Amino acid sequence: MSARRAAVTNPFADLTLEQLRRRTSAKWRYYPDDVLPLWVAEMDAVVAAPIAAAVNEALDLGDTGYPSGRPYPEAMASFAADRWGWSFDPAAAAQVPDVMSGIREIVRAISTDTTSVVVTPPVYPPFYGVARTLGRPIVLAPLTPEGRLDPATLEAAFREATTGDGTAILLLSNPHNPTGTVHSRAELETVARLARQYGVHVVSDEIHAPLIMPTSTFTPYLSVANTAPDFTVASASKGWNLAGFKAAVVVPGAEAARDLEAPTFRGAGHAGHIGIIAHAAAFNHARDWLDAAIGGIDENRHLLADLLETYLPDTRYVLPESTYLAWIDCRALGLGDDPSAVFLEQSRVALNSGTTFGDGGAGHVRLNLATSPAILTEAVTRMGAVRR
C-alpha cells in the first residue's frame, strides 16, 4: 500500500464497550456479557460514512429490488488498479452472495467427485468445509514453521492430488488466514508454475487483501504469470466490516471466464442489491476510512506484542503482515491443544481455537485485533492471569 494520510480518525476508538454490547451480531451475542469477545472476524467500528450514506439513500428511495449492472466489479477494479496496479475486466467477473459460496460453486463447476482439493494448513476452516460438502478428497500442503508456502511441500501435494483423475484444485488464502502472512510475488509465481505443471486449478481467496499493513506489499494472484486458468474471489466485507451486507466478486483468469457460464456455477446465486451498493461505495468512496482502519490495526498489532511480552512472555507471536487477525503460539504455556478453552473458562476472553484451522493449529489461538486499545489491553491482562 502506498503511503497516505488518512482523512478520518481511528474507527476503533469510536465505540465504548457499553455501546458494543448493544449489538446483536454473532461476535457480541454468542457469549455471555462477562466475556470479552475477540474471536470472529467482525470489527468493533462504526460503518464508514460514505457506505452508510449510499445505503440510506437507497432505502430512502425504496431502491430495494434486484441488482442491475456491474457496479461492484467496476468499483473493485478501480480500487485494484489504484492500490495494487492490477487490472481486470469487470465484464468478465461474477457477483455472488459471498466469498465462500463463490469458492464452493467454482469447485463444483470445474471438478468431479474424484478431484482432490489441496489446502495449506493452518488455514481458514471453511476451506475444509467446501471440500467435505462437495465430497472432494482433501490433500494437505502445510505451511513452513515460519508460516510460508513451501515449494517442495506444494509439489508433493500436487503430485498426490493429481494421481486420480489428473486434476486438482488449490484453495489459496491470499493473504493467509490465520497467520496474516502476505505471500510474495515470487511465492505466487512458484504456485502458478507448479499448478500448470501438474494440471491444478488455483482459487485464490483475497477477502483480506484490502487490509495490508504499511510495511507490506500485496500481490493479487491473477497479476502473476501463468494464472490464466485460475480464479480470484474477493469482497469488501472484511476491509470495511460489511459481512451483514452479503456480496462478493469472482474474477476469472483469461482462460477461466467460460467456467463461470457453466450451469453448475450459475447456481451460486447473486449478490443482494443493497450489498452491492454498500460494497461498491466502500471500494469507491471509503478508502480514507480503510486507511484509518489499517492505521488502527497497525497500532494494535504492535500493542499486542508489548502486552504479550508483559503478561504472557512465554507465548510466540509474529506481527501479522495483513488482516486484523493475530496468530499466537501458546504451546509453551502448557494449556493443552486448545488454549482458547482455558482462556474462555478462566479469563472470560473468547478467542478462536487453533485446532479448527487444521494441522499446525494445536496449541494456538487466533485473536481479533479490530477493537479498541482499551479492550485489547483488558483482554490480554485477563489472559495473563490464567492458571497453568
DSSP code of residue 347: I
Task: Say yes or no to pLDDT of 2 above 70.
Answer: no
Compute the average pLDDT of residues 24-33. Answer: 97
Domains by residue range for the chain, with CATH: 11-47+287-383 (3.90.1150.10), 53-285 (3.40.640.10)
Instruction: Provide DSSP, 199-243.
Output: TEEEEEE-TTTT-B-TT-----GGGSTT-TT-EEEE-STTTTT-T
Residue found under cell 506484542: 305
Compute the average pLDDT of residues 116-144. Answer: 97
Task: Say yes or no to pLDDT of 262 above 90.
Answer: no
pLDDT at 4: 46
Strands 168-173, 200-205: pairing kind: parallel
pTM for this predicted structure: 0.95
State the pLDDT confidence band at 330, using cuts at 50, 70 and 90: very high
Note the pLDDT tens digit of each residue in 44-99.
Answer: 999 999 999 999 999 999 999 999 999 999 999 999 999 999 999 999 999 999 99
Note the pLDDT tens digit of each residue in 199-239.
Answer: 999 999 999 999 999 999 999 999 999 999 999 999 999 99
C-alpha cell at 88: 481486470
Calpha distance 183→121 (Å, rounded): 14
Please state the separation of Cα 380 from the chain's center in Å: 23
pLDDT at 85: 98
Going by C-beta distance under 8 Å and a sequence separation of 6 or more, which residues neighbour residue 190?
A: 149, 151, 154
Compute the average pLDDT of residues 260-281. Answer: 84
Q: How many Å from the N-terminal Cα to the C-terminal Cα in the chain? A: 41
Residue 98: closest CA among 72, 132, 123 = 72
Please state the separation of Cα 225 from the chain's center in Å: 23
pLDDT at 370: 98
Calpha distance 1→309 (Å, rounded): 29
pLDDT at 351: 98
Compute the average pLDDT of residues 298-326. Answer: 98
State the pLDDT confidence band at 265, using cuts at 50, 70 and 90: confident
Calpha distance 282→48 (Å, rounded): 8
pLDDT at 5: 43
User: Alpha helices of the chain — where are they, by DSSP H?
Assistant: 17-20, 26-29, 49-60, 71-84, 99-110, 126-134, 151-161, 185-198, 263-266, 273-285, 287-311, 339-342, 373-383
Provide φ and ψ at 374, rounded to 5°. -65, -45
Cβ atoms 194, 168 nearer than 8 A = no
pLDDT at 270: 85
Task: Say yes or no to pLDDT of 1 above 80.
Answer: no
Provide φ and ψ at 212, rounded to 5°. -95, 130
pLDDT at 387: 87
